[in-house]
Amino acid sequence: MSAEATIRETIEKNDVVLFMKGTKMMPQCGFSSRVAGVLNFMGVEYQDVNVLADPEIRQGIKDFSDWPTIPQLYVKGEFVGGCDIVTEMTLSGELDQLFEAKGVAFDKAAADKIREANA
């Protein structure tokens, strides 16, 4: 299966997917760690894809999304963005709204705590 087919299948089969360097339990870059940390803290169930394990996936996801950096977050098949966008959306409440609109379970109180800590 091609990298594009693998990526498409992963995004279609999972409500939330984070293409990252490392894994959700052992991120291997600060940006991936930040996004995984937000999702973990908010209790979001998500599929992590370690792009360091497969160079074809690492380049393939950049081509697929036409986005040059990793991590990349997808929610219900929709590309959300990278670290800066996810951070901004978390702090503004937009990520909560996206999860609610897409029917993705998350801990609202945890999301509020993130915002309080960064106010």
**Mode of pairing for the β-strands spanning 47-50 and 16-20:** parallel
Closest by CA to 80, choosing from 67, 29, 57, is: 67
Query: Would you say domain 3-113 falls under CATH 3.40.30.10?
Result: yes
d(CA 77, CA 83) in angstroms, rounded, equals 18
pLDDT digits (tens, 9 = 90+) for 26-51: 999 999 999 999 999 999 999 999 99
pLDDT for residue 53: 97
Task: Please name the helix (run of DSSP H) or strand (run of DSSP E) that holds residue 47, with its range, or none.
Answer: strand 47-50
What is the distance of C-alpha 29 from the center of its chain?
14
pLDDT for residue 119: 86
Q: At 115, phi and psi to the nearest 5? A: -65, -40
Task: Please name the helix (run of DSSP H) or strand (run of DSSP E) that holds residue 48, with its range, or none.
Answer: strand 47-50
pTM: 0.96
The answer for residues whose C-beta is within 8 angstroms of residue 89's C-beta and 6 or more apart is 80, 81, 95, 98
Low-confidence ranges of the chain (pLDDT < 70): none
